[in-house]
Amino acid sequence: MLSETQRLGDGFGRLSTHLEQSQSEVKRLTEELDRIREDALTDALSGLLNRRGFDRELQRRTATAQGQESLALIMLDIDHFKKVNDTYGHPLGDRVIAAVGHSIRECIGPSGTAARYGGEEFAVLLSTDTAGAEHLAERIRARVEQGRIRRREGEQAIDSITVSAGVAVQQGNEDGSSLVERADRALYRSKHAGRNRVSVDRAMQRA
């Protein structure tokens, strides 16, 4: 009887150890899968969401915000970025993109979602009204303008980097594509007006 009890106890012990190891492995694999998913939606250069991650977030936020909250979109573009690449080389251009991404993250904190939309263009989604979005876009613009990027340690900073921005706020049941189109329209208005400024698209706003 004692021998059988000990044998059963040993068996339960091995089973318990096996279950613990299995649970640990499942946890490790789950964490690894989460990391892979996060990497698939993150732009390695800027540290922000990539275009795929942005599109997914835009679809989710525009659907849930309809009639519930003010959802604003800020589109930003680095001014004369081709000139930066042509003058200083692509490695420095990459540093500029990383620096602008860092400035955007510092300005929005946990309140918004930022993405590298493509190339030298960025996007920010946040729950706020037109005035709040315009104020944040201006903060980002000023932060980037005040930043200084050097080619190498100790060298003089390159010419000031600036961004242009366009702001639009979701209206009614407006979908993501329309919101992006209006924010982009405002962005190009900033570009055409001389760059390094913020413009707001108010075409669909209620009186």
Contact 71, 113 (CB under 8 A): no
From edge to edge, which strands make up the β-sheet containing 121-127?
112-118, 121-127, 71-78, 163-169, 198-200
Q: Which of 32, 57, 69, 120 is catalytic?
A: 120
Q: Enter the pTM of the model.
A: 0.79
Q: Which fold has domain 51-200?
A: Alpha-Beta Plaits (3.30.70)
20 is catalytic: no
Q: Tens place of pLDDT for every residue, the chain, 207 residues?
A: 656 566 656 666 676 776 666 666 555 444 444 444 445 799 999 999 999 999 999 999 998 876 567 899 999 999 999 999 998 899 999 999 999 999 999 999 888 999 999 999 999 999 999 999 999 999 999 999 998 887 765 566 677 899 999 999 999 889 999 999 999 999 999 999 999 999 999 865 443
Domains of the chain by residue range: 1-40, 51-200
Contact 48, 115 (CB under 8 A): yes
Determine the 3-state secondary structure of 78 from DSSP: strand
Buried b (16+ CB within 10 A) or exposed e, 110-147: eebbbbbbeebbbbbbbbbebebbbebbebbbbbbeeb
What confidence score (pLDDT) does residue 7 get? 60
What confidence score (pLDDT) does residue 153 get? 59
What confidence score (pLDDT) does residue 173 get? 86
What confidence score (pLDDT) does residue 160 get? 83
